[in-house]
Structures are given as structure tokens and as C-alpha cells.
Amino acid sequence: MAQEFEPVGSTPFPAATAADVLFQLRCQAPLTHIITNHVVTNFTANLLLAIGATPAMLSDPQESSEFQSLAKALSINVGTLSQSQAVAIRAAVDAALEAGNPWVLDPVAVGPLSLRTRLCEALIQQAPSAIRGNASEIMTLAGFESVGRGPESVALSDDAVEAARSLAQQTDAIVAVTGARDYITDGEQVLRVEGGSALLTRITGAGCALSSLVAACLGTGRAPLEAAASACAFMAAASEIAEERSQGPGSLSVALLDSLYDLNLHDLERLES
């Protein structure tokens, strides 16, 4: 449900545009290559299948490179990063760029840990199409002072809008900073998605899966700003419906998949009310 809040310079993202992207996603079922953390692999794959995309969970360095000739988009998540996975990530990103495929970076827990921080700092120089993170992660990558606890953010998304704009300008990528409100920017325009269930913070992998959903939407060929904002709208609307149908975090996970499967324009319009 939308709240009475409008930060200076942000524009509500229209449900009709999100619904149009959803139609394209379901018609095309874009093959999305996902290198993510071990904790969320199954949930992420099921979430993309539920909404209509086609996930492929490959992480071998050679196969990750070869697969980009088949895929429509790539999603990179460093949540359980290892040295060997870093090799696969670099190979996949290089191949995605060569193939002209959009790719998304989810810089989980960047800042406190050196391996992932160095890798993410290098990756943002390799033309990501979009970067999706919480407030602390986006502020860290943008060079702003931030406070975080691993994958959790102490800062609010409202506090990270300028950092998101700055990072978008630095990288020429769409930047989505997500939280109680989601902000999506190309460095100039800032779109806002209201709503979503607070219970998402009680299940593992919601943010990680959202990053892969952004990649799937980019794989439709839609304009990157609209694609990223649509993914945020899908998750916000579906999670609100899922919360109404669930008893707590456990049943929310299942209800979220069902809500994404059934998602329609009417569901998306509830974010505007």
C-alpha cells in the first residue's frame, strides 16, 4: 500500500508500465544466467520460474563463459563468494559484454569484507547494466559513508537516494536501492516504488532473488530504467498479497511464488493507492 511520502526529485513508477513489462517477460521467458550464493539458489530459480522467466544456475568458469551465447541476461551475486566463484563471475561478465547481454550486480555485504569489495569495485568498471543493493551496499560502492551488518543495512533506502544517483553517474548503470521504499535511478531521473511486505526481511534471499528478477526483466530488451523498476514493483505487489495469505515467514515464501505466478495489472495498481 502506498504511503504519504514523496522525497524531492522522485517519481512514482506507474503500474501500467510495470504490467507491460510483465507481459513481455511472460511472452519471452528470457533465459537468465544466474551466479548467486549457495543459500538462495533454489528460491531464486523458483521465483523466476513462477513469474515466467527461465533461470539457469551455472557457476563453472568455462560453462559460465560459454553460456552467454545462449542467455539473454546475466545476474551476479557475491553473497557466498569464493576464489573459484570469482573466476566464474569474471568469465561470465566478460562473455556477457562480448555477447552484448545486459548484466546485473548484487554487491552483497560489500565494504566490511575485502575479497568481495575488491571484486565489486572492479566489476562496476565493467559496464553493468544495473546494480541492485540495500542502502549500505549502494552507499559503500558510491563512496559515501555507510553502516551495515553483513548483508543487512542499518541505513534506510530514503537516506541512500543521492548515493544511488552518484553511483549511477559513476558507472552509467541503473542503480536500484531497495528497502521499505525502492528507488531506481539512471543518475538523473529517480523512480520510486512504494509498498511491499516487511516480512521479506524475515526470509533468506528476497533481495538476492530480486536482483535476478531485474536481470530477467532486462533480458526482455526493455529500457533498463523501466525494467529495473518493474522488477521492484513485481516484488512489492506480490509480497503484499503474499503477506495477506500467509501466517508468517515460512508460508510467505510459498505464497510469494503463488502471488508472482498470478500477478496482474490490478495487483500492481494497489501500489498506487
Transcribe 15-63 into DSSP letters. HHHHHHHHHHHHHH--EEEEE--TTTHHHHHHHHHHHT-EEE----HHH
Report d(CA 204, CA 151) in Å as an integer. Answer: 10
Handedness of CA 126, 66, 49, 107 (dihedral sign): negative
For the chain, report the end-to-end CA distance as a whole number of angstroms: 6
Does residue 245 have a known ligand-binding role?
A: no
Does residue 132 have a known ligand-binding role?
A: yes
Does residue 181 have a known ligand-binding role?
A: no
Nearest CA to 193 out of 207, 177, 208 is that of: 177
Strands 190-193 and 182-185: antiparallel
Does residue 205 have a known ligand-binding role?
A: yes
Report d(CA 90, CA 199) in Å as an integer. Answer: 34
Q: Which residues are annotated as a binding site for substrate?
A: 57, 205
Q: Which residues are annotated as a binding site for ATP?
A: 132, 178
Q: Which residues are annotated as a binding site?
A: 57, 132, 178, 205
